[in-house]
Amino acid sequence: MKAPKTDGFVLVLVIVALGLTAVVMAVLTAGANTMLFHADRAHGQAVQRNLRLSGLAWARHRLADPNIAAATDPVALETDALSPRDATLAVSFPEADTDPGQIRINTACSKGRHALSATRTYPVSPKP
């Protein structure tokens, strides 16, 4: 009796292993893309929060100085130190007649597929 040939069996096993490896890689890539998506969103929210707090600190410092008059036009602040990506920060002081003790902060930033922007108004204590 002749011994059965097993040369083709090893080749089939290698082809099946390559196919399974491709499926595993596709699943892992989808998971990595999902994590990247959520990480970009969290980073954008953190940058926006930092911009907002920096704008509040700048506005309070400016309002505390009696020699500086509050401007009604938005003041664009430099954001390069806060975020290396696209980010903008503008602070405005509404006119005292219409909205006393309020400051308006406009923030915008983007990362990946996310573009976040917000305009919020915050109360501040009046000048002493």
pLDDT, averaged in runs of 10, over the chain (128 residues) = 74 93 94 92 90 88 73 79 79 68 87 87 71
Nearest to 86 by CA among 47, 128, 58, 56: 47
**How many folded domains does the chain comprise?**
1
What pLDDT, on a 0 to 100 scale, did the predictor assign at position 20? 96
What pLDDT, on a 0 to 100 scale, did the predictor assign at position 111? 83
List of E strands, the chain? 75-77, 87-92, 102-111, 114-123
What pLDDT, on a 0 to 100 scale, did the predictor assign at position 32? 94
Evaluate whether residue 27 is within a structural domain: yes
What pLDDT, on a 0 to 100 scale, did the predictor assign at position 74? 83
Taking the alpha carbons at both ends of the chain, their separation in whole angstroms is 107
Q: What is the residue range of 55's domain?
A: 9-123
pTM for this structure?
Answer: 0.71
Evaluate whether residue 128 is within a structural domain: no
